[in-house]
Amino acid sequence: MFDQLRRDIDTVLDRDPAAKTRLEVLLCYPSVRVMIFHRIAHKLYLAGHTTLARWISQRGRHVTGIEIHPGATIGNGFFIDHGDGVVIGETTVIGDNVTIYQGVTLGGTGKDVGKRHPTIGNNVTIGAGAKVLGPFRVGDNSKIGAGAIVLKEVPDNCTVVGNPGRIVKRETEQKGIDLDHVHLPDPVKAHIDALEHQVKELEARLYEADGHKIKVEDETNENL
């Protein structure tokens, strides 16, 4: 337990430039505190003490604003930045070195039984307010943009933005942990810009054609 706690603190110091000391991280970071609750609750849940496990997880939610079901499986190097409003469902599986931001939901889409929450690969970043809903996998080294709604599987090394989430970038090689979840490609804006460019070209051609027509009519009138 203490080794895991040290790893959690090291993770925060590595990924958050606002963190200055180990004591500050221990006392002030909800990500570290909620993982203490979760690890205790998860062990009780696996041992069959589900009610006690749920009670402990709810205590963690009241203290930190982060709700993690005790059935969720979470790897090493997990970091929730800020944390308010984060919800992680029962059958969620999270790999190593995953970073998520406030307002993220890793949830299901109905009352299905069995595996109904997402599996998150290694080195994944999920931006603020994003929702990942359903029993599919988000691949290693992928990135979910802030506010994205992801409803289907994401391959490795991809960037997803929008509602519904669309893959806007694929990397051919591993990039490691990338915490930028804001400066991402915007395919909708790109299409709008292309349409505006086409409209301007058409307007220019029409203006040129109308101008040529007026000139020909003037020359004809003069000849008459």
Check if the beta carbon of residue 106 is closer than 8 Å to that of residue 78.
no
Mean pLDDT (whole number) for 115-136:
94
Question: How many residues would you count in the chain?
Answer: 224
Mean pLDDT of the chain: 86
CA 68, 37, 86: angle at the middle one, nearest 5? 30
- Is the preceding omega at residue 164 within 30 degrees of 0, hence cis? yes
- Whether 4 has a pLDDT exceeding 60, the answer reads yes
Taking each helix axis as running N to C, give the angle between helix 50-64 and helix 30-46, from 0 to 180 degrees, rounded to the nearest 10. 170
Rounded CA-CA distance 165/147 in Å is 9
Other beta carbons within 10 angstroms of residue 117's beta carbon come to 24
Q: Which comes out higher in pLDDT, residue 211 or 146?
A: 146
Q: Which comes out higher in pLDDT, residue 178 or 19?
A: 19
- Whether 70 has a pLDDT exceeding 80, the answer reads yes
- Whether 64 has a pLDDT exceeding 60, the answer reads yes
Q: Tell me the per-residue pLDDT of 183-200, one tens digit each, with 9 for 90 and over.
A: 666 666 676 877 888 888
pTM, to two decimals: 0.76
Other beta carbons within 10 angstroms of residue 184's beta carbon come to 19
- Whether 177 has a pLDDT exceeding 80, the answer reads no
Paired strand residues for 133 = 107
pLDDT in the model for residue 167: 87
Among positive and negative, which fits the CA dihedral 196, 198, 201, 207? negative
